[in-house]
Structure 1
Amino acid sequence: MSVLVLVAPGSEEIETVAIVDTLVRASIEVVLASCCPAGQRQIRASRGVQIVADCHLNELTGRDFEAIVVPGGLPGSEVIRDTPLAIDLLKEQALLGRWRAAICAAPVVVLQHHHLLGDARATCHPVFQAKLPPGQLSTDRVVRDEVHRLITSQGPGSAIEFALEIVRVLRGDETAHAVAGPMVLSPSLMP
């Protein structure tokens, strides 16, 4: 099985690349799928960086993913929010009790918009935190909700920690430590 990472025009490039790179370092197969409305694989990210996806979402041959990950950024999160197949996959993932992960704007703009957060503890970019109910909001940099199989995070600066948390739930603490070590992370950020 593999991990599906969704990307769209205006997705946050640091988050997208940090997620994909960290998962690949953990020997996790990653499928980077474009949600570009024009059907293109190449997208311009939120700061102008060009990213080429492995495929367009419409070209997926399977739907069996260990996790589906949604990077943040605007308008990328809005594009993903408005992509019916992306939302269908996220809903199916939740119904199957499989991991979902979203960072930055995506927990609110994508997941909350489509009632995919439920009552899970979650975080998001500070600009969007007021949109989460006080009992649901965590101000931690990365939040893992085991019951809802959901990992959320705050933004580009927490993207590697977020990705390492995905590694931890999919491959265990030992693999997360093995990946984090050579990345020379601050000891306070080590899994």
Structure 2
Amino acid sequence: MDTWTVIILLHYLLFASWVRSAPVGSASSLPPAFRETALEAKTLGEKILKDISAAHAATVQDFSLDSSTSSLQLMAASMGIPSSPVLKALSAHFTLETCVSRMLAGVQMYQNLLEVLSSKVSGLDDLRADLRDLLNHINKLKEVAQLTADVSDQNPSTDLTSHLQDSHNIQVALHLTLTQLRSFCHDLNRTFRVLSTYRP
């Protein structure tokens, strides 16, 4: 295979990859305010990751932030701690509207979980305040892009309170909620990075 053929094939592959990763749909007409808000949200998301570490250190003694076992994951399901909404690369099958809807649903879900947990321990106030601010930023993304993202059917109800009757369960619930939130925030920040640098 000659050099020019290799170069042409590389260009084709790079272009195909760019097309698959580029936002689609209404993203092509996003105003600058959308990208600015996404950048602000990403900065806040990075602060939240630090808040998570601080909150875990202040409230959880039984586990390190990186502790993860299959038995803990089984307890998450039995205690009614739902999984985070899945965020994917924007595509024809995962539109900007779907993405923003899942971001909203996830942040609201963790707000609800932390509200329950804060009735049992102190040390979650900063994290809760930053999640409220993050929710405002995502709502602004929704408004600026004129999306109709609906989260009413995406936020599963939880009966976590009934499982917080002893200190061990409280520790488990705190640990699982904070580690899942950390993972979700990493996904959020990756998404914000794409949105904040996108140029139609």
TM-score class, shorter-chain normalisation, is under 0.3
Higher strand share: 1
TM-score by length of 2: 0.25
Normalised TM-score (structure 1): 0.26
Which structure ranks higher in relative contact order (CA pairs < 8 Å, sequence separation ≥ 6)? 2
